[in-house]
Each structure stands twice: as C-alpha cells, then as structure tokens.
Chains A and B, each alone.
Chain A
Amino acid sequence: AQTVTQSQPEMSVQEAETVTLSCTYDTSESNYYLFWYKQPPSRQMILVIRQEAYKQQNATENRFSVNFQKAAKSFSLKISDSQLGDTAMYFCASSQGAQKLVFGQGTRLTINP
C-alpha cells in the first residue's frame, strides 16, 4: 500500500523568504506520480506541481520547485520569494496507475508580512 508522510504539521516564514516543505512516500510501484496540492481557506484543492517518477529532472513551476530523490523516496517542495497568498495547507500526494491519490497529513504554511 502507498503511504505519504509529511512530518511538519505547521511552518511559518516571513514574506519573501524561501521555505521547504518535506514529504516522504512509500510505494512498491515503478511507475507513479507525485504531487503537491495547495488548499487555501476556501478549501478548493489547487495543483501546485507534479512529478513523474520516471523523470529524473526536478519539476519547476515559477516560484515552486521540487527536490525529487527517488532512491530516498523523498519529494520536498521549495517555495521561493514566498507571498502572503501562499498561506494555505499543503498536501503531498502520490498516485499509481489507478489514478487514486494518497495524501499526506498536510503542512499548514503561514506567510507573515
């Protein structure tokens, strides 16, 4: 069975700082996807970034980038130049071919002005 672990329940940084959210996962599959989702107070789930396991290159989306360490089963999210609008719950998730997402426990990120 897949498991996803986020060991940081809460994090807080100042605006414009860089913050890294940690995530580890466990899967027996060779082909899978990894995701970071953002859930702001509105509760709408928003995809931040995704990574195909077979790709060695780390995914990047503007200020968001990941550090994908396949052997260590680690998938951390780095947010550069953090903004007040980045305040939200962040969920790491993994999926296999069946499309089902397994979510981590979440990290509540607060960006302070």
Chain B
Amino acid sequence: GAVVSQHPSWVICKSGTSVKIECRSLDFQATTMFWYRQFPKQSLMLMATSNEGSKATYEQGVEKDKFLINHASLTLSTLTVTSAHPEDSSFYICSAQAGQWNTGELFFGEGSRLTVL
C-alpha cells in the first residue's frame, strides 16, 4: 500500500519556539493531505485540509496563524506550530489520499509527538 512518512516522530521544544513537522507521501502523489491532532486517550480531530499549491482550509476553532500549513509539492505538506506553548503538546497525524477518492481510502503517517516545555 501507499506509504506516508512523518518527521520528526518525536520533538521536544521550549515554550515560545516554533516547530515544523513534515508529512511526505513516499510512493505516490497527494494533491490533498489532512492534519489531525490527537490528545491522550482521545480521538483524532481534524485540524485542516492541505491542498497542493493553495491555502489550507482550517476547521472551526483552529488558529490558522498558529498552525501554519504549507503544501508546496505533491509529496510534501508541512505543519508549523508557531510560538508553541505547553497546551500545544499533542500527537499530530497527517494523512493523504492516493489516487481518486472513489477508492475511499486515506493513508496515515506514523504521527509526531510534540512536547512543549
């Protein structure tokens, strides 16, 4: 199956700094990628939809100036958490669609755990 890779898998940063998380589709082109956030023992919450070559679409309640998303190529989307604070500590997961949507499947990255001190 299609492979989606995230990097880094684990990052610790100081409060006030910015952190960039990369999401790559390794063996397919992804025009659309999605970013999710998952708190401990909770479900995945969609943060934004990332479209190659255009601005991301953010879900209600997600601060677009704090969570910057860039989808500059068909194989890479990045999520930058700006001026991170301890409440931003979470598990961030990306997913990507391979092929036409009528296959009905998204492929997920391994996730990135962010800890803000």
Contacts and interface: CB of A to CB of B under 8 A. Distances in A.
B105 to A, nearest CB: 6
B104 A50 contact: yes
A45 B43 contact: no
A87 B92 CA distance: 22
A82 interface: no
Interface stretch (A11-19, A71-79, A100-108): A100-108
Interface string B8-25: 000000000000000000
Interface string B74-117: 00000000000000000101010100010011101011000000
B68 to A, nearest CB: 20
Interface residues of B, number: 20
Contacts of A42: 110
Interface in A37-73: 37, 42-47, 50, 52
Interface residues of A, number: 23
Interface of B: 32, 34, 38, 42-46, 49, 91, 93, 95, 97, 101, 104-106, 108, 110-111
Given A52-B104, A101-B44, 9 more contacts: A42-B110, A43-B91, A43-B111, A45-B95, A50-B105, A99-B32, A99-B34, A99-B49, A102-B46
Interface of A: 33, 35, 37, 42-47, 50, 52, 91, 95, 97-106
